[in-house]
Amino acid sequence: MKSNTELIHQWMEETIQKDWVCVDMTCGKGRDTLEMAKLAHHVTSIDIQEAAIEQAKALSSQYDNITFIQDDHINISNYVKDFIHLAIFNLGYLPDGNKKIQTTADSTLMALSKIYPRIRKNGYLVVTCYVGHKGGKEEHETVKRWIDHYKNFETTIIDSGKRNAPITYICKKTSFDSR
């Protein structure tokens, strides 16, 4: 069975167009950033940790269409001023990294609210939640409630139903009006 990451990368290949502008809200090791850089016009990739940004830069060194930013993603509107086609969140902590540095329900909610207005009509928001670690279930509930609130999202859910498996929401923003 394919992992959520593999399924998202397959979805990216089928969906992302050459002129797309994408934002990776949780750069991490940069696997999602690299996939988007192969397909899109430009990727902005943000992470709060230097270790993540360094690994991601090394992974995608042949690509010159990525802007890496080391900052809290709640500050994303300082860097992304124009409309974008896709924003992706892969929540939690850096694999093999410092598990104390992880996304939280509060900061994720704030970051979602900051990037939402930048997503163009028919653009996408992709969020993967991990429920197995401390705070993960609460974060997932918060993300789910936030997504459910937006009636203009057409949402596809990747959920194997297995205990503690990651859950991914692929949300298409069908209009600017959320009612």
Ligand X SMILES: C[S@@+](CC[C@H](N)C(=O)[O-])C[C@H]1O[C@@H](n2cnc3c(N)ncnc32)[C@H](O)[C@@H]1O
DSSP output for 72-104: -GGGGGGT--S-EEEEEEE-SB-TTS-TTSB--
Residue nearest to ligand X (CB): 28
Query: Per CB under 6 A, which of residues 50..109 are in contact with ligand X?
Result: 52, 72-73, 90, 92-94, 101-103, 107
Applying CB under 6 A, the span of 23-31, 118-126, 143-151, 156-164 interacting with ligand X comes to 23-31
Cα Rg for the chain, rounded, in angstroms?
15
- Asked if 48 interacts with ligand X (CB under 6 A), we say yes
Q: Are 146 and 128 in contact (CB under 8 A)?
A: no
Kindly report the backbone phi and psi dihedral angles of residue 4, in degrees, each rounded to the nearest multiple of 5, phi listed first. -60, -40
Nearer to ligand X, 9 or 173 (CB): 9
Nearer to ligand X, 28 or 123 (CB): 28
Query: Per CB under 6 A, which of residues 130..169 are in contact with ligand X?
Result: none
Which among 140, 127, 125, 129 is positioned nearest to 166, based on CA atoms? 129
Residues that bind ligand X (CB under 6 A): 26, 28-32, 46-49, 52, 72-73, 90, 92-94, 101-103, 107
